[in-house]
Structure 1
Amino acid sequence: MPDEVAAAADMIGGAQALLVTAGAGMGVDSGLPDFRGSEGFWRAYPPYARLGLRFEELADPEHFADDPELAWGFYGHRLELYRQTVPHTGFDILRRWARTRPTTVFTSNVDGHFQRAGFPADDVAEVHGSIHHLQCLRLCGYGVWPADGPDGSIDVPVDEDTMRATGPLPRCPGCGALARPAILMFGDTGWDESHAAPALARHADWLRERRGTGLAVVELGAGTAVPTVRRRSELASAASGALVRINVREPEIRHDRGVGIAGPAAATLTAIDDALGRPGTG
């Protein structure tokens, strides 16, 4: 899509500030599984296919009370997967663009990969929280603490044949109750958002300060099933019309307020970056 790539390069090259928004599709090029639809999820986790359990059913806080080994089998495996996975080259490109103008990130991903790629934690708004932080299931008041701390990382052994946790489960340091990831799950009324809230507030202030000042939005892998990220992208780019939407399956742009590119994140960002390096672009 050379025309779309050139148009995206013009928008990004001429921007005075960048908002990077990202959904689950951003991590696929790093090797993370694609959870789109039950079939994609079950290909990644065959034991759940045998049980007939969908992603939405497992990402439910009720399991921590009803069947904690099932709950921590799912989240313990994901925690270790995200620790071991290296962010793809597209993150490096975004980081380089961020060095030339004010940039902030808004993501529904809980993997912490923007921070691992070098983005300052204060500049990453995680609207669904982070799997790298834990909270008390009972909300005893202890607050949120890191799963990766100076005294060692929380380790949850998982039997990959059954996808159930084995051995001791993480506990709250304050009251000793079962711990859970500090992320927003489906039907979740017990999420402790205290860790995520400051960055989300800074993000809102950042957007208010830069509306009408040449802001461009680069959206990556954000689908319509959970439209939080797409809505943020569209609202933030409403004044400038500078929205670059990169999505393998759903690249459409409403009201001609930007450019949509049907492609994966890493390859598309590389193509735009190459275009930015050509004379007369940006």
Structure 2
Amino acid sequence: MPALDPAVVAQAAELIARADSIIIAAGAGMGVDSGLPDFRGNAGFWREYPALAADGTAFMDIASPLAFHAEPRRAWGFYGHRLALYRGTAPHHGHVLLRQWAEAAQYGAFVFTSNVDGHFEKAGFDPLQVDECHGSIHHLQCLAPCCDMVWSASSFVPLVDESRCELLSPLPVCARCGGPARPNILMFNDSGWIGDRHGRRTARLRGWLERTRRPVVIELGAGTAISTVRHFSHRMVRQHNAALIRINPRAPLIGNLPGVAIAGGALEVLSAIDRHMEQAR
């Protein structure tokens, strides 16, 4: 990875300093600096889960409601392991820098993220200002589903045999009907996801945007394979006259959109921007 261009870093710092609000758009690459896996194809996925590699179970196969119907202990072996991993991993310092910049902006920040790890909330962001567009692993719902209820997974402590990717502890059940429960995460081929939390945050974001006049979009680690976060960034830029700061080590280009493109990891680039801000004070 080439060294960061000081002029581009300075331009990004200036865009943030001029903004009255910050829209944070974060993809899977945001968690890499915390040590979280970023699944890019089955090779990376199978490296993290050799038990699934052994029988050729792809990410799309296990990250599906069908897996919970067919092999609930294996599906919860995967998601239970991820839940424990996310609980035990701290947000990196880039989250802290973003929160500090948000606190300095007139209207603060709103987060839109495809990550289900809960790290923005753990880093001190107001949960009502965080739109987890694919749901959260820290919440559960009925697999059926029998109702629209979503509840905290805090009482569920998974014990997983990682060598077999199998849940050993009791399966979580629906708080209403007693049937099997699943994570409140939007999976592949998923018609049963309860997205009410996402819907409420979307409405809150619309109200927040009505007050802003000079927003800046800071997009971090948003890939092109599943481009939900990128599409959101583009919509914010075009509909709200926002500048875009795209931070991505592999696909940073922004085309004809206003703003800057920086090739690098989230923590590296955010730290460089913050150093420039400190020097400018």
TM-score by length of 1: 0.93
Q: Is residue 187 of structure 2 the alignment partner of residue 185 of structure 1? A: yes
Distance 2:169 2:111 in 1: 37
Please give the residue correspondences for 1:28-39 in structure 2 after superposition, counting only pairs within 5 Å.
Answer: 28-39=32-43
Distance 1:196 1:228 in 2: 13
Partner of 1:204: 206
Cα deviation, residue 39, structure 1: 1.2
Distance 1:96 1:167 in 2: 40
Q: Is residue 25 of structure 2 the alignment partner of residue 21 of structure 1? A: yes
Distance 1:246 1:84 in 2: 26
Amino acid at match of 2:278: G
Conservation of the 8 A alpha-carbon contact between 1:207 and 1:236: no
Partner of 2:234: 234
Moved more, 44-53 or 90-99: 44-53
Cα deviation, residue 165, structure 1: 1.1
Please give the residue correspondences for 1:5-16 in structure 2 after superposition, counting only pairs within 5 Å.
Answer: 5-16=9-20
**Unpaired runs of at least 5, structure 1:** none
Cα deviation, residue 4, structure 1: 1.7
* RMSD, aligned α-carbons: 1.4
* Residues 187-219 of structure 1: per-residue CA shift (max 9 Å, x gap): 100001123321222113223443xx1110000
Distance 1:196 1:132 in 2: 14
**Would the alpha carbon gap of residues 7 and 66 (structure 1) be closer, same or farther in structure 2, given more than 3 Å must change?**
same
Partner of 2:278: 277
Distance 1:87 1:167 in 2: 27
Percent identity of paired positions between Structure 1 and Structure 2? 51
Q: Which of these residues, 134, 138, 147, is aligned with residue 144 of structure 2?
A: 138
* Counterpart secondary structure, 2:77: helix
* Counterpart secondary structure, 1:99: helix
* Counterpart secondary structure, 2:256: helix
Partner of 1:161: 163
* 4+ residue runs over 3 A deviation: none
Distance 1:43 1:278 in 2: 42
Distance 2:129 2:255 in 1: 28
Please give the residue correspondences for 1:64-213 in structure 2 after superposition, counting only pairs within 5 Å.
Answer: 64-101=68-105, 102-141=108-147, 143-148=149-154, 153-210=155-212, 213=213
* Counterpart secondary structure, 2:201: helix
* Residues 210-269 of structure 1: per-residue CA shift (max 9 Å, x gap): 3xx111000001011111110111111225351000111111102142111111111110
Distance 2:169 2:218 in 1: 43
Distance 2:145 2:242 in 1: 42
Moved more, 94-103 or 189-198: 189-198
Conservation of the 8 A alpha-carbon contact between 2:253 and 2:261: yes
TM-score by length of 2: 0.94
Amino acid at match of 1:118: G
Amino acid at match of 2:46: W
Cα deviation, residue 38, structure 1: 1.4
Distance 2:231 2:28 in 1: 15
Partner of 1:214: 214
Distance 1:181 1:217 in 2: 29
Distance 2:115 2:269 in 1: 19
